[in-house]
Amino acid sequence: MLVILRRDDEEIGRQAAQLIASAVRKKPALALGLATGGTMVGVYKHLVGLHKQGSLDFSRVTTFNLDEYLGLPAAHPRSFHHFMRENFFAHVNVDSRNIHIPDGTIHGNYDQYCTSYEAAIRKAGGIDLQLLGIGRNGHIGFNEPTSSIGSRTRLKVLSRETMDDNSKFFAPGEESPRCAITMGIGTILEARKILLLATGEAKSAAVAKSIEGPITSAVSASALQLHADVTFIIDDAAASQLSQRDYYHRVLEMTALLTPDRLS
Report the b/e string of 179-206 with b at 16+ CB within 10 A. ebbbbbbbbbbbbbbbbbbbbbeebbbb
pLDDT under 70 in the chain at which residues? Answer: none
What is the per-residue pLDDT for 91? 98
What is the per-residue pLDDT for 174? 83
* Strand pairing category for 2-6 and 179-182: unpaired
What is the per-residue pLDDT for 86? 98
What is the per-residue pLDDT for 168? 82
User: What is the rounded CA–CA span in Å between residue 190 and residue 39?
Assistant: 23
Would the pTM of this model clear 0.75, i.e. be above it? yes
What is the per-residue pLDDT for 39? 94
What is the per-residue pLDDT for 263? 85
What is the per-residue pLDDT for 166? 85
What is the per-residue pLDDT for 29? 98
What is the per-residue pLDDT for 67? 98
The domain 2-263: what is its CATH number?
3.40.50.1360
User: What is the rounded CA–CA span in Å between residue 243 and residue 29?
Assistant: 39
For the annotated catalytic residues, the residue numbers are 67, 137, 139, 144
